[in-house]
Amino acid sequence: MKAAIHQPQYWPGLRYFAKMRLADLFIYLDDVQFEKREFQNRNRIRTARGWQFLTVPVISKGRFSQKISAVEPDNSKPWREEHLFTLKTNYSRAPFFGEYLPALEALYAKEYRLLAELSAATVEFMRKAFVINTPGVFSSGLKAEGRSSARLANLCAAAGADEYLSGAGAGAYLDESAFRGAGIRLSWQEFSPRRYPQAFPGFETDMSALDLLLNCGPRSTEWL
């Protein structure tokens, strides 16, 4: 069984779902430290001026070492209404926006107590739209020990996987011997983003996968 592992993200990009599609099991790495300026609480969408971040405000004062699984959105701020309004403003001309709008409204109508819960909702939204049947589990439920590469190998073993699918960028720091020692075969994702139609002239790469879906609908899987 081939496993892929990645931190939960808010409206992840295409590479995330391309990896998920290739795996037999996707492990959400939720019991590692939250990094505020990464993609765990934000992602990029297309606008007439290029791109902008959709960022979920989180409660971080005095919680600098908190794990992803413990992070709470700051629901004292109207971020859900603002994000939905921003999507409506920038994607109203996208060909499939109307088709997915009711589901987007339902997603933003719910209040989320934890960031990981919100991230899972956006991933599930995209997983269903892309017809990806790969099941997912959270690393916090697997109780694997170790650090860095050893931890990843142990997570695979705890989940019953015998192969780990890694992003190509991890080649610079992964310790392959840790996987050999755990009896886990290491394989590499090969993904090159390709141009697709966007709602505004020009093309911006590395957007949230939601950008592809709203512009290309059921054909989106051709770019994964």
Closest alpha carbon to 209 in 7, 4, 18? 18
Structure tokens given for 173: 């720091």
pTM value is 0.94
Q: What angle do CA 224, 127, 111 make, to 5 degrees?
A: 135
pLDDT value of residue 65: 83
Q: For the chain, which ranges sit under pLDDT 70?
A: none
Closest alpha carbon to 120 in 22, 1, 26, 195? 26
**25, 155, 171, 188, 220 from 178: Cα distances, Å:** 20, 12, 13, 16, 36
pLDDT value of residue 146: 82
pLDDT value of residue 145: 85
Distance of CA 168 to the CA centre of its chain: 17
pLDDT value of residue 173: 82
Helix (H, G, I), strand (E, B) or coil at 29: coil
pLDDT value of residue 8: 96
pLDDT value of residue 46: 97
Secondary structure tally for the chain: helices H, strands E: 7, 7
Structure tokens given for 119: 């991230």
Distance of CA 100 to the CA centre of its chain: 19
Residue boundaries of the structural domains of the chain: 2-223
